[in-house]
Structure 1
Amino acid sequence: MKMASGRTGIRLAACLLNISEGRRRNVVEKIAKAAVCDDNGRKRPQATVLNIFSDYDYNRSVITIAAPVDRLDVAETLAVHAPGCSIFLFGHADLPWKQSLVQRRKQMGWFDRKAFKAASIVPDIGSAPTLRYGLTGVGASPYVMNCNVTVDTQDLATAKDIAGSVRGSAAGGLKGLQAMAFPHKGQIEIACNVESFDHCDDPLATCDEMGYVSYRVLGKTYSYVSPQLIETSIKKLARARGIKTVGTALVGFTPEECMHCATYALTHGVGEFWRMRGGVFM
């Protein structure tokens, strides 16, 4: 996500780093610190880690990093510092096609172990995938927020049906929303990626009236579906199936919160901002 701060006069980007480690807190924090320190441990003044979210059950973490736009050459830097890694590009980084992350994952059989054949994958950057390094996706897009709603059931098929109904690709779904259902702690979590988009479908109604929120970046207006509307929509669909919702978790920040936190952290030289607010370890 590109951001601009009138106080600092800098253009910022937020990076969501997803890693397959959520049980060893020391490892996760070591990776987070690598974003704000060089190889000699010296602090990089123009980078900050805003948040760490770790999920023990699925052994994964999401690390939110912010830095000036001209400092983010993620894919190329990763290929240089971690020889052997294999990188595919998506979104605005996937020129000229600009395919979405979902499209690129489907191409590679990402969610189908039987279809996934590492040897047949030709990466955009780096070498062919290996068991040691796996496969890494690097992309650029308007801001993406994560909002997870837990439903009190173990019926995965029904939860998947609810997730399919709220997706932006579904008739009557929520614009910019991607959703999947996963078993989690004896219940099921409907995990939603909330993408920002640059217009509303109905020009006669404001985004706020429809349950969407608008914000401006570099003179351009973007909108996203609010966490409240996501929760309300899933709760309604679940109730129609005799299921209750038991909680909603926002992973990280809304676009506005991210910009304010990043501006504060970079203005005050706070590289490990997540320690001020406390990372979330589930």
Structure 2
Amino acid sequence: MSSSRLGLRLAGCLLNVSEGRRKHIVENIAKAALLDKNGLNHPEVSVLNIFSDQDYNRSVITIVASVEKLGSSVLAACLEAFQAIDMEAQEGIHPCLGAVDLIPIYPLTGVRIEECGALARSLAQNLVMHIPGCSVFLFGEADLPGKRSLVQRRKQLGWFTRRNFSDLQPDLGATPARRCGLTGVGASLYVMNCNVTIDSHDLSAGREIATAIRGSNPHGLKGVQAMAFPHEGKIEIACNVESFEDHEATESSEDTQYVAYNVLGHQYTYVSPHYIEAQVKKLANDRGIGTIGRALVGFTPQECKKCAEYAIKENIGEFWKIREGVFM
């Protein structure tokens, strides 16, 4: 049965928190998303996946819900996260600005991107209202009127290197408290995270590969943002894979360069994880380096939609516990 016939209007949030080493804290954050204001499990919310990385000290929690319930669900998870994570003590390889570092909202089914932007703005206002010391920057559909991208905002704010918040001017809230840091809240088309590990300790080689595949490179991969990090004794090419509108793209196979999908009759496209891995492998081989493997952080857009529809229809809140790789 189609999602439209089920009457589902679903959106998702890939909640990025700056904690990946204390499993119980991350799971408490995930469980908080499932409870309503009376402490009861909410039937229109599910946590599909938890992806944690100890080296990065970062977790990505995939929360899906009806568009009417997602804001309160993510707010509850953030309240738990801000209580448990102290940015003054946080250490990890992955860049971050906040205890709750990133709150991206994505349309999944029956929801327009503009609705996700309005939801993100409302959530940002509630965060600074309910959490002392919380400060927010906006991006994408939540950042009106300019709709600056997450990449633009991160560069402006010094996301890669900053730990001093005293001179930051957030979009909402006061100067960021050192314990909380600064949180990004926004909305866009679905952004997938795909990481490929190369069998090398050479960070400069990793950076060359990341630069070569970036969408900003004339010969790079459209919609791909890439960085290289030391990771578990090797180098990981970490990619954010953005969806984009491209009416010329008709391919829909994971084995091709581009994969197409639809939301409310609009076609969107992204670069296949398999193709990203193949390109990294080729660039690494050109430098005499092998690759070890690929990790997809969560889901492709289609997988997220299908899992969300199933989990909500079947009222499975802790969906992450029934899929393989419970705590990846």
Please tell me the TM-score bracket, short chain as reference: over 0.9
SS in 2 for 1:14: strand
Question: Is residue 83 from structure 1 mapped to residue 104 from structure 2 by the alignment?
Answer: no
Identity of aligned residues (%): 62
Could you state the TM-score of these two structures normalised by the residue count of structure 2? Answer: 0.80
Q: How many residues align?
A: 274
Which residue number in structure 2 is paired with residue 25 of structure 1? 23
- Cα deviation for residue 138 of structure 1 reads 0.6
- The CA distance in 1 between the partners of 2:126 and 2:320, in whole Å, is 24
Given residue 130 of structure 1, which amino acid in structure 2 is its aligned partner?
A
Matched, 1:122 2:169: yes
Tell me the SS of whatever aligns to 2:4.
coil
Q: Secondary structure at the match of 1:42?
A: coil
| Amino acid corresponding to residue 310 of structure 2 in structure 1 | Y
- The aligned residue for residue 176 of structure 1 is 223
Question: Is the CA contact (8 Å cut-off) linking 2:8 and 2:309 kept in structure 1?
Answer: no
Greater shift after overlay, 16-25 or 62-71?
62-71
Secondary structure, in 3 states, of the residue corresponding to 1:17? Answer: strand
Given the alignment of the two structures, is residue 238 of structure 1 paired with residue 284 of structure 2, yes or no?
A: yes
Root mean square deviation of aligned Cα: 1.7
Q: CA deviation at 1:280?
A: 5.0
1:41 partnered with 2:85: no
Mapped partners of 1:269, 1:75: distance in 2: 27
Q: Which runs of 5+ in 1 are unaligned?
A: none
> For residues 1-282 of structure 1, what are the structure 2 equivalents within 5 Å?
5-71=3-69, 72=71, 73=119, 74-113=123-162, 117-199=164-246, 203=248, 206-208=250-252, 211-278=257-324, 281=327
Moved over 3 A (4+): 205-210, 278-282
Give the secondary structure class of the aligned counterpart of 2:322: helix
Distance 1:229 1:191 in 2: 14
Distance 1:208 1:270, change over 3 A: closer
TM-score (norm 1): 0.92
Gaps of 5+ in 2: 72-118
Alpha-carbon separation, structure 1, partners of 2:307 and 2:272: 19
Provide the secondary structure at the position in 1 that maps to 2:205: helix
How far residue 76 of structure 1 moved from its aligned partner, in angstroms, is 2.6
Distance, in Å, in 1 between the alignment partners of 2:268 and 2:293 is 27
